[in-house]
Amino acid sequence: MSKQATIEIDGKKYEFPLITGTENEVAIDIATLRSATGGVITLDSGFKNTGSCESAITFLDGEKGILRYRGYSIEELAKKVDFLEVTYLLIFGELPTKAQNDKFHDDIKAQSTVDEDIKKILEAFPKTAHPMGIISSLTSALTAFNPSSVNVNSEEDMYKAIVKILGKMPVLVAWTMRKKQGLPLDYGDDSLGYVENILKMMFAKPNCKYVQNKILVDALDKLLILHADHEQNCSTSTVRIVGSAHAGLFASISAGISALWGPLHGGANQAVLEMLQAIEADGGDTKKYMSKAKDKNDPFRLMGFGHRVYKNFDPRAKIIKKAADEVLEALGIDDPILAIAKGLEKEALEDPYFVERKLYPNVDFYSGVIYRAMNIPQEMFTVMFAIGRLPGWIAQWREMRLRKEPIGRPRQLYIGETLRPYIDVDNR
Ligand code: ACO
């Protein structure tokens, strides 16, 4: 007999099925709660206890510090495969064969140009615009250039939309950066790997041949893999909920980019570096900033620390910390910012405030140090995260549509005025 959970309200008992996932996580299925009880709902601000869907893409255990894509550990993937293979794995469920991977890459390459009219939209943005706002707008604009809606019952239609966005988004990203730097736009090079081409489009100078640096290619590849999916986080939930209204893939991803921009989410990587620079400019007194972070009357938070789900070390942070050391050493960079980051981490890991609250460095604590070593402007850090998260957003959107999930529409507990009589303007 299947297991049940019992909820008692005013002496009356209601039974709800308990559902167990493949990793033995247990959920109470309350789909019939409201109808069975005559209107009772659950209230869970910030969804700290609420599952919004069943998903077969990413498993994470925040207590144990486990992260797996489609069953493969993040540690193994970061070591053994490249970002494009991880993209394929997340979206289609299996690691590609060589032939599948080559075809996937060829199909993406075939879509790696954008309509020249996109340049006119790009031109219209002021120099002061944040790249995340530009990328979100341009991704949304792709819908205008590709108006036919995706038939989700057609694998072919889905596939076409997927390779389109994977081909075009790096172009939008690179062009946004170059426009802000006053550089001519670069069209990339089809003979390059996916990540190599991103670097070329971002950094090639108009007057000389771009030479790839293997250290940078490998570091970016790894960073993108580590960011590729993280189950139902804020931006991914946004993508799923926008898509649940049957909005198209590009529109849904544009909404996800906006959600990612927030400093409590993807925007944290930029905020971390700004914080480390501010500490350095202020004399490098990490203790002062530790006190500020603990002071409840001070809004300052130690950026890059804490995570909604990880209450143990973020496994991605472990890999990134090591990568930051390797990249800086290989490039011969002695960055005082890295020393401040390490100092803060050491203090926080020994401080009862952080220990009791299980606040550990998250993925963003060290990623900014690597991006900085790669000469990526600070404002572009969150955009790099968006390129990394793109496969996750696509995979989650596709899963949601294939599973024919209903439109996402939470309930609320109304706490406003009850019915009151209208007051004429002269009597207010
Ligand atoms: N610095 C100082 N105190 C913190 C921090 C921090 N970075 N993070 C959490 N706390 C404290 C809170 O003040 C709270 O203390 P209290 O219990 O005394 O009130 C307690 O720890 C719990 O914090 P919540 O905000 O309730 O935890 P929540 O799960 O809602 O938030 C979040 C998680 C948003 C990531 C938070 O830790 C934070 O703001 N971190 C800094 C921003 C950041 O690095 N974001 C990136 C997250 S990773 C990603 O999106 C890729």
CA count, 13 A, side-chain hemisphere, 412: 4
Taking the centre of ligand 1 as the mean of its atom positions, its distance from the CA of residue 334, in whole angstroms, is 30
Q: Is 364 among the residues known to form the active site?
A: yes
pLDDT of res. 1: 57
Q: Taking CB atoms and a 6 Å cutoff, what residues make up the pocket around ligand 1? A: 264-266, 268, 293, 301-308, 357, 359, 362-364
Confidence at 201, pLDDT banded by 50, 70, 90: very high
What dihedral do alpha carbons 188, 190, 195, 200 form, nearest 10°?
Answer: -30
pLDDT of res. 326: 86
Average pLDDT over residues 327-340: 87
Average pLDDT over residues 99-115: 97
Coil, strand or helix at 251: helix
The Cα–Cα gap between 404 and 367 comes to: 36
Give the Cβ contact number of residue 215 at 10 Å.
15
Taking the centre of ligand 1 as the mean of its atom positions, its distance from the CA of residue 317, in whole angstroms, is 16
Mutate to test the pocket of ligand 1, among 261, 307, 309, 360 (most ligand atoms within 8 A of CB): 307
Q: Are 382 and 223 in contact (CB under 8 A)?
A: no
Task: List % helix, strand, coil for the chain (3-state, nearest 5).
Answer: 55, 5, 40
**Is the pLDDT at 421 greater than 60, yes or no?**
yes
DSSP string, 206-221: TTS-----HHHHHHHH
The Cα–Cα gap between 202 and 121 comes to: 19
Average pLDDT over residues 167-180: 96
58-105 residue pLDDT tens? 999 988 999 999 999 999 999 999 999 999 999 999 999 999 999 999
Q: How far apart are the first and last CA of the chain?
A: 62
Q: Which atom of ligand 1 is nearest to the CA of 234?
A: 50
Higher pLDDT, 151 or 114: 114
Average pLDDT over residues 232-244: 97
Which of 199, 213, 204, 164 is closest to 186 using CA atoms? 204
Structure tokens at 3: 């297991």
* This prediction's pTM: 0.92
Percentage of the chain with pLDDT > 90? Answer: 79
Average pLDDT over residues 205-225: 93
Find all residues with CB under 8 Å of 352, minimum gap 6, and list them: none
Q: Is 29 among the residues known to form the active site?
A: no
pLDDT of res. 390: 98
Please tell me which residue in 307, 314, 334, 424 is annotated as part of the active site: 307
Rg (CA), the chain: 23
Residues forming a β-bridge with 20? 26
Taking the centre of ligand 1 as the mean of its atom positions, its distance from the CA of residue 370, in whole angstroms, is 23
pLDDT of res. 299: 93
Coil, strand or helix at 13: strand
Please tell me which residue in 282, 364, 424, 426 is annotated as part of the active site: 364
Structure tokens at 330: 């290989």
Q: Are 331 and 325 in contact (CB under 8 A)?
A: no
